[in-house]
Amino acid sequence: MEEKQWYVVNTYSGHENKVKDDLEMKIQSLGLENIIFRIVIPTETVTEVKDNKTVTKDKKMFPGYILVEMIMTDDAWYIVRNTPGVTGFIGSSGKGAKPTPLQPQEVDKILGSMGLNRVDYDSELKQGIRVKITSGPFKDMFGVIESIDKDNHKINLDVDLFGQSTSIEVELSQVMPA
């Protein structure tokens, strides 16, 4: 089975919220919660001065685009593409080709600016869980979580280095469930 990744979906501008709501309803009614996970409309909080009053509001970072965390199966691809208001995926050459996912660092940057994380740490990462390291000097190695320091965004892993069990510390953003 493939791993879940983030994809950019193009929508009609101004229809992002409706597409998100329709897609969430489809996912729930068809029982696809195990292949389509989160749908995010990237926003940023901006402060404007109007009529000598300071107004704070959320502004879409990428009008006409939403992010979808999913496992790219034929069903998931079909459901997202055929949701009213969706014009297609970014990173697809068309002609029935499936799109390429966003790179983890791209997702981290976008979600991080919104106070969100690529990995849902509370539900996916726990002590004793096996994870894969996705970046840094230990990239593509596997380890078992010894402890998680959410305040400092660090995680201690037990990895096998040259046949010996070794404890290392990496950033939370550098791991994903194995």
Where in the chain are the domains? 5-118, 123-177
Q: Classify 61 in phi/psi space as left (phi over 0), alpha (psi -120 to 50) or beta.
A: alpha
Q: Report CA torsion sign: 137, 143, 147, 153.
A: positive
Whether this model's pTM surpasses 0.85: no
Confidence band for 59, pLDDT divided at 50, 70 and 90: confident
> Rg for the chain (alpha carbons), in Å?
19
* CB of 142 closer than 8 Å to CB of 130: yes
Class for the domain spanning 123-177: mainly beta
Instruction: Look at the block and give the residue holding tokens 């101004």.
Output: 14
Q: pLDDT tens digits, residue range 104-163?
A: 888 888 887 877 766 666 667 788 888 888 888 888 889 999 988 877 778 899 998 888
Cα–Cα distance between 59 and 57 in angstroms, integer? 6
- The answer regarding whether domain 5-118 maps to CATH 3.30.70.940 reads yes
In whole angstroms, give the CA distance from residue 40 to residue 65: 9
